[in-house]
Amino acid sequence: MKRFALTGAAGYIAPRHMKAIKDTGNVLVAALDPFESVGVIDSYFPEAEFFTEPEAFEAYLEEARAAEGLDYVSIATPNYLHYPQIRMSLRLGADALCEKPLVLGEDELDRLAALEAETGRRVWTVLQLRVHPALVELKRKLESDGDRKQVSLTYVTGRGKWYLKSWKGDVKKSGGLATNIGVHFFDMLTWLFGDVEHLEVHAREDRVVAGYMELERAGVSWFLSIDDSFVPAGLRAKGQRTYRSITVDGEEIEFSGGFTDLHTEVYRRTIAGDGFGLEDTRQAIRTTEQIRNFEVGGSAPRHPFVEKL
């Protein structure tokens, strides 16, 4: 039985981590969050210690490490906290298992690689789309096909005024829209079609980011937004505020279902030593960092939604 700690226990994604820890037959010994709305812990690990102050949490883990050991720290906090909390985990003698984006910049990946070598511990991340059965099968088909593809990615997830006033709206804390709502898609695309060979950014605003990528085996036009006015009118009339479409040569990729146990599968692989590490996430981190820094422009084909701006 592995012993876990968890940061960000009050967050949206935290219950998936608690479930994965329980489903893999392991135990949560302590959790941290500045907010106290963490009653969900009772559904999984009612005996877990809980802290609202990071200093007290870290001190407890130091003692737990000395007494019974600490194997993993699962990190589900806001993006800008990932890097320091991964460092804390490794310094405590535990592996880190961190939500996406692992970090905000490629230089932080390099520093963590050095810390892995120094401590002998590992940094893992949650790339759950890579274990989605429909996408695993798609990857198999693409590899046997070998033809170059044309891909279109559209992701609109309506968010209220609160979004830009929270840490998510602060580029220094979230990494911007491409990082915060798009990093898992960019990871999926490079996993399926190869590394980025050319990148253009055609729009970068508070509520929209869009561009074009040439990957090794595909050209990709992409559009990401938190403005629900981009949801197609028919769906918006039904009250839908989210729209996702990924097409390959005009054919829709359907993977809406099958998400229930993806975190659990990532945990199983990680515990077995076959999870996703620093280098697995490098291309997506590099791409999102470039998107927030590149000059807007370029001559590649625009996503059709860009014309609506």
How far, in Å, are 9, 25, 36, 62 from residue 41 at the CA level?
Answer: 8, 16, 11, 22
pTM of the model: 0.94
**What is the rounded distance in angstroms from the CA atom of residue 196 to the CA atom of residue 191?**
10
Please state whether beta strands 242-248 and 149-157 pair in parallel, antiparallel, or not at all (unpaired).
Answer: antiparallel
**What is the rounded distance in angstroms from the CA atom of residue 35 to the CA atom of residue 8?**
9
Q: What residues does 223 pair with on adjacent strands? A: 154, 210
* Residue found under tokens 């909390």: 85
pLDDT in tens, the chain (309 residues): 999 999 999 999 999 999 999 999 999 999 999 999 999 999 999 999 999 999 999 999 999 998 999 999 999 999 999 999 999 999 999 999 999 999 999 999 999 999 999 999 999 999 999 999 999 999 999 999 889 999 999 999 999 999 999 999 999 999 999 999 999 999 999 999 999 999 999 999 999 999 999 999 999 999 999 999 999 999 999 999 999 999 999 999 987 766 668 999 999 999 999 999 999 999 999 999 999 999 999 999 999 999 988
Is residue 150 within a helix (H) or strand (E), and if so which, with residue range? strand 149-157
Query: Rg for the chain (alpha carbons), in Å?
Result: 20
pLDDT score of 49: 97
**What is the rounded distance in angstroms from the CA atom of residue 282 to the CA atom of residue 299?**
26
* Residue found under tokens 């135990």: 27
pLDDT score of 255: 78
pLDDT score of 257: 65
pLDDT score of 259: 62
Q: What residues does 38 pair with on adjacent strands? A: none
230: phi then psi, degrees, rounded to nearest 5: -85, -10
